[in-house]
Amino acid sequence: MTTARHEPAQAERAPGPSIHVVRARKLLYGGLVGGLVATAICLLIFGLLAGAKGLISAALGAAMVLFFYVVGQLVMVHFADAGARTLLTVSMASYTGRVVALGLVLLAYGKNRADWPALMPMAVFVSTIAVVAGWLAVEIYVFSRLRINVYDTPYEPPSTPVDEQ
């Protein structure tokens, strides 16, 4: 248990975004780069292998993933300076909303599959997995380079009364 006291923040803030917003933006941009690179690779591969049908299917899978992650990271950027409880509540509400929206899209496709003959389910699936992997790989790389400082107070052993020794 530490007994360190945290000094209150200074009344005057430096101009510009806080370090939390800067870090959240770096994660957004890094993940977006990884997702877009994976998207381009999938579009190229499925475009060459299956023509327009593969291209459209891969684009749909990639667009769903990019929407899901971009919206999530934008929420995190917007609320980066909020308290922990607020941030948790907002991120969970955002996640729930995005999952429901994605579920409704998949439900609509499942019920009207015959109306969408131009889609290749395998291309949608593979591009979805590839874009998620691309986004997360670069986001993890960026996170490992954020230089988040960790401070710990020096250890002070408990005091013992003289007569116990």
Enclosing H/E stretch for 163: none
CB distance 35 to 130 below 8 Å: no
Length of the chain: 165
Q: Where are any strands of DSSP class E within 23-125?
A: none
Q: Is the pLDDT of residue 6 over 50?
A: no
Neighbours of 68 (CB within 10 A): 20
Count CB atoms within 10 A of the CB of residue 159: 5
Structure tokens at 117: 């003959």
Residue 113 pLDDT: 82
**What confidence score (pLDDT) does residue 3 get?**
52
Tokens read off for 28: 């957004």
Question: Which pLDDT tens digit goes with each residue over 121-149?
Answer: 899 999 999 999 999 999 999 999 988 77
Question: Which residue did the predictor score with more confidence, 108 or 37?
Answer: 37
What would the pLDDT profile of 28-83 be if each residue is shown by its tens digit?
999 999 999 999 999 999 999 999 999 999 999 999 999 999 999 999 999 999 99
